[in-house]
Amino acid sequence: MKQVVLLIFFFYFFNVSIFFFAFLQVIGLADGRCFCQVTGDLDDCACDVETIDDFNNNRLFPKLQRLLESDYFRFYKVNLNKPCPFWTTTSHCGLRDCAVKPCSPNEVPEGVRASSHNKYSAAANEHQTDCEQENRLGAVNVSLSNETREALLSWNRHDDEAERFCVVDDEESPDSQYVDLLLNPERFTGYRGAEAWQIWNSIYEENCFKPFTIKRPLIPNVLHSSAGNDAKIFHSWLEGQCVEIRAFYRLISGLHASINIHLSARYLLDDSWYQKKWGHNVTEFQKRFDADLTAGEGPKRLRNLYFLYLIELRALAKALPFFQRSSFQLYTGKVEEDQKHKGMMLDILQLARSFPLHFDETSLFAGDEKEAAKLKEDVRLAFLNISRIMDCVGCFKCRLWGKLQARTCYYTHSSLKTHLMSGNCFGALRWRQIEALPTSDIQGPAFQLSRQEIVSLFNAFGRISTSIRELQNFRELLAEEQ
């Protein structure tokens, strides 16, 4: 009997040793190889990886980071206490690094706190409030009952919601609080496991137009023997879809890749009683993106990140006319700083517009009018659903950045001719209004963008820009290891 037990033990030990030896070989081969397949032209685009790297890392990224450190862009109002609408969450993340520290009232600049949701300066606040009351209500108040006016307002809200692509937090809710984004950076918090994967599974399985019979390799690696075959079947299915559905999936995948890069770049490397050290975790990065460790999925994810960047850049460039107007002013109450930061913002937008190889959106939704309208509505509902899923994230810091970054995909589709223009879910109405802006400042725009929308727009793009820059950091770290 003892001999049998010993034989079983040695057999088990021998096989496990072989497995781990093979696994270590794979990791060794992974050094420096993640990026060799992430070069050249991007699918469905006229651009290439190298052009984006040079443009972002050397020209746009440094300027954007300085802008996002300003008071106007660093304070973001968000409701992190909304319940999950899809399933019962067992508990919130109990890890201390999951917590978000809200701002006390005196930490938020008075101009940010005092500004109402669609105004920019004290003078504009007073003037536009009077104009809004006169133009929207003054002519009808004497002839409409309170019930009728409420019905009209309800219809307007319904029409607005019908064109929204994400759930917008109620800024006036007592649960909405200002958060300093610089003091609550996106990084690895320890939030992982079944609950975290449930979020991504729900996004991919229920909102990416994929039939349930096709398995998307969400976490393929060497431990899953069927991952490679599942990946081939999935991508074969995806290649057979229309360009709009391929683009939708690539935006979601690019967003997922961006978040994973942030977690790998700001990983908790040391958590001792005397210090907490955050930094680049090359091994974690390879587990998420190396070709062999992800059954070929990693390089595809990185290419989708570049695709997302390219389309976001196009959307940002198309928003330039609104921000160029002299009537638009950033407003924190510090006049000189506000003027300086508006100049920096316009410089970034002009730089975005100067990019030589923008995504060409003219080929999208160009087929049958009824089919295109149906597809646009399906895309809108999918985005709306994904924004609601963000309230199911158990880690509050992950929820904060997830809610903000999920909006990147909403406004990227604006330049895809779906008119999904939004740092804060502008929706079709917002994009059409930007396109219809008068060329003269004499006639003011018929709409305004809220500060929340503007802050979301630039910070969301800032996350993607940061991801592209971090890839260069990982390239250098991998080269050093070799």
Question: For residue 209, what pLDDT is reported?
Answer: 86
Q: Which helix (H) or strand (E) holds 372?
A: helix 369-389
Q: Between helices 297-318 and 282-289, what is the axis angle to 10°?
A: 90
Per-residue CA distances from 233 to 214, 215, 217, 295 (Å):
7, 8, 10, 13
Backbone angles phi, psi at 279, to 5 degrees: -175, -170
398 is known as an active-site residue: yes
Question: For residue 335, what pLDDT is reported?
Answer: 92
Q: DSSP letter string over 250-315?
A: HHHHHHHHHHHHHHHHTEEEEE-SS-EEEE--HHHHHHHH-TGGGTTHHHHHHHHHHHHHHHHHHH
CA distance 72 to 120: 11
45, 103, 392, 395: the active-site residue: 395
Question: For residue 222, what pLDDT is reported?
Answer: 43
pTM, entire model: 0.79
Question: Under a CB-based contact definition with an 8 Å cutoff, are residues 459 and 422 in contact?
Answer: no
Question: For residue 441, what pLDDT is reported?
Answer: 55
Question: Under a CB-based contact definition with an 8 Å cutoff, are residues 308 and 254 in contact?
Answer: yes
Counting every residue written for the chain, the total comes to: 482
Q: Which helix (H) or strand (E) holds 179?
A: strand 176-180
Would you list which residues are annotated within the binding site?
187, 189, 200, 253, 256, 288
Question: For residue 378, what pLDDT is reported?
Answer: 85
Question: For residue 471, what pLDDT is reported?
Answer: 95
47, 93, 98, 398: the active-site residue: 398
Question: For residue 363, what pLDDT is reported?
Answer: 63
Would you list which residues are annotated within the binding site for FAD?
187, 189, 200, 253, 256, 288
395 is known as an active-site residue: yes
Question: For residue 281, what pLDDT is reported?
Answer: 95
Two structure tokens written together for 14:
């021998």
Question: For residue 137, what pLDDT is reported?
Answer: 43
Per-residue CA distances from 276 to 100, 189, 260, 269, 280 (Å):
17, 12, 20, 8, 14
Binned average pLDDT, 10 residues per bin, the chain of 482 residues: 41 34 37 58 74 96 97 93 83 74 90 64 47 42 52 47 59 85 90 78 85 72 60 87 86 92 93 86 93 87 92 86 89 93 97 86 68 81 87 90 72 41 39 54 57 88 96 92 77
